[in-house]
Amino acid sequence: MTTKNDQYDGNIINIFPGVELVTHNDTLNQNSNILISYINGTKVSTLHYRDNQIKDIECNHLIEGFEVKPSESNSKKVTSNTFKVLQGTGYVFAIVLLIFSLFSFSGYVKARIVLTGSMSPAIKTGDVIITTPIKYKTPKIGDVIAYQAKRFNGAPVGVFSHRIIGGDINKGFIVKGDSNKSPDSQRPKANEILGVVIMVIPFIGNLLTPKALFLLVPTFFGFYLILDAMKNVD
């Protein structure tokens, strides 16, 4: 209840028996809203005065509620980041393949998988060498060339990729594998040289065999589907 207090020129609000609140002005009316906090021992309580009535209130009634957006779980973040990395890597790989295909179809470069270790440690088994024809790059001593190896009777044996250690393009180059003890018996000339090595891509040739592709393609495709499904889970 609220009563007039002439001594303080204000109003008295009876909070509960034995406890009163004195206001020092005459502005208190039925539309007044007053919050009263008090300590009772170790407990802090809050009261609300309105329309000549006092009610206990909870602190969470004093603020406007808001929706708390659940944070993204760590596992989902990892999945999302992994998917983005794989997706970005896939785009880069596709662009590189497209550029290489254009150069390859134009005859500017050609890729070959190294099948032996005769050029180890510079070029190892399973590496991929990129060669360009001698009309684009003149071979010289120190270069590695890919040439058509032949038997003594002229029958083709295969493609050898060895280093030039002497000779010339007219009389024939002296070539030798870095790990071989002696030079090749054949001295390749211009018409037998298929290209000069301009780049070596390590190891990737081991993944381009039919057996490896048979295992890797379904594995990567399945892994991609799993990541895509996990990414779309709410």
If DSSP codes are grouped into helix, strand and coil, which group holds residue 121?
coil
What is the spatial distance between Cα 225 and Cα 220, in angstroms, rounded to a whole number?
A: 9
- Give the pLDDT of residue 4: 44
Give all strands (DSSP E) within the chain, no chain letters: 2-5, 10-16, 19-23, 34-40, 43-50, 53-57, 110-113, 128-132, 144-150, 156-168, 172-176, 193-201
Q: In this structure, is the dihedral angle defined by the CA atoms of residues 217, 222, 227 and 232, taken in order, positive or negative?
A: positive
Domain spanning 75-219: CATH 2.10.109.10: yes
- Give the pLDDT of residue 2: 45
Walk along the chain (234 residues) and give the pLDDT tens digit of each residue: 444 444 444 455 555 565 666 555 555 565 666 766 666 666 666 766 676 666 766 655 554 444 545 555 566 666 667 767 766 776 776 776 677 667 777 788 988 889 899 999 999 998 989 999 999 999 999 999 999 999 888 888 999 999 999 999 989 999 999 999 999 999 999 999 999 999 998 988 777 666 655 565 566 666 666 666 665 555
Listed by start position, the domains of the chain span 2-62, 75-219
Instruction: Calculate the CA 50 to chain-centre distance.
Output: 60
From residue 208, alpha-carbon distances to 8, 88, 105, 113, 204 in Å are 97, 22, 19, 9, 7
